[in-house]
């Protein structure tokens, strides 16, 4: 299966948590329908990206990266690559590359949220990332390593995010906590 086909299938079957997220889901599907290259950075002005919020093994902290170009604390993630066959796998790859943590476990195989945001991405402006967001847990004792894409990389308490954290990141943390709580509940 191609990445494009996987993204289409994932978004067709994903149950959005609320009406605005369902509107985004339909927008992403329309973009995929009209652009054969929608999953790659050369699709202009908009393209799908994959990100992952990394949560500590005890679910008490999230790992955020101070993005070098954007200058804000964000979850790990970025552009899909030609070798990626699944959106979730692209998110995990990005998380591993940007955090230096190899042992990440995806929490569920569906996205947690979608985020449509403007980015300085190439020669066309405005350009947007149509981000498909997942959550993963790190193994106990995981030690992050700053990548070249980051100025800083740190664990923050889920209730103690750094000042100025974007509302979209705060929403992602809230939804990730709900996903984690439902998984824990299912295991009981």
**Helix, strand, coil share of the chain (percent; to 5):** 30, 30, 40
Q: Does 185 have pLDDT greater than 80?
A: no
Query: Quick one: pLDDT at residue 45?
Result: 87
User: Per this entry, what is the length of the chain?
Assistant: 188
Q: What is the pTM of this model?
A: 0.94
Kindly report the number of other CB atoms within 10 A of residue 139's CB atom: 12
- Whole-number Å distance between alpha carbons of 29 and 49: 14
Q: Which residue has the higher pLDDT, 70 or 184?
A: 70
Overall average pLDDT of the 136-150 stretch:
92
- The pLDDT confidence band at residue 47, using thresholds 50, 70 and 90, is very high
- Whole-number Å distance between alpha carbons of 57 and 110: 19
Q: Which residue has the higher pLDDT, 128 or 170?
A: 170
Tokens at 33, concatenated: 């329908």
Phi, psi values for residue 126, rounded to 5°? -80, 150
Query: Quick one: pLDDT at residue 118?
Result: 81
* pLDDT digit string, tens, across residues 65-122: 998 878 889 999 999 999 999 999 999 999 999 999 999 999 988 999 999 988 776 6
Using only the alpha carbons of the chain, give its radius of gyration. 16
Strands 61-67 and 73-74, sheet pairing: antiparallel
- Whole-number Å distance between alpha carbons of 188 and 186: 5
Tokens at 93, concatenated: 């790859």
Query: Quick one: pLDDT at residue 83?
Result: 95
Give yes or no for a contact between 176 and 75, defined as CB atoms under 8 angstroms apart. Answer: no
Name the H helices within 15-56: 19-34
Mean pLDDT of the chain: 92
Give yes or no for a contact between 110 and 14, defined as CB atoms under 8 angstroms apart. Answer: yes
Overall average pLDDT of the 141-150 stretch:
89
Tokens at 28, concatenated: 């992403």
Which domains does the chain show, CATH number per domain?
Answer: 3-187 (3.90.79.10)
């Amino acid at each position: 299966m191609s990445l494009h086909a996987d993204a289409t299938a994932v978004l067709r079957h994903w149950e959005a948590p609320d009406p605005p997220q369902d509107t985004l889901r339909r927008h992403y599907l329309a973009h995929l329908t009209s652009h054969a290259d929608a999953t790659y950075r050369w699709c202009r002005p908009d393209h799908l990206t994959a990100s992952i919020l990394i949560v500590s093994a005890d679910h008490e902290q999230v790992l955020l990266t101070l993005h070098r170009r954007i200058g804000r604390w964000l979850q790990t993630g970025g552009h899909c690559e030609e070798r990626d066959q699944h959106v979730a796998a692209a998110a995990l790859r990005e998380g591993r590359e940007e955090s230096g943590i190899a042992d990440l476990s995806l929490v569920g195989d569906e996205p947690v949220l979608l985020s449509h945001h403007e980015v300085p991405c190439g020669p066309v402006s405005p350009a947007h990332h149509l981000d498909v967001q997942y959550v993963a847990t790190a193994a106990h004792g995981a030690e992050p390593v700053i990548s070249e894409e980051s100025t800083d990389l740190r664990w923050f308490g889920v209730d103690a995010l750094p000042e100025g954290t974007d509302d979209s990141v705060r929403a992602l943390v809230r939804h990730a906590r709900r996903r984690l709580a439902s998984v824990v509940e299912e295991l009981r």
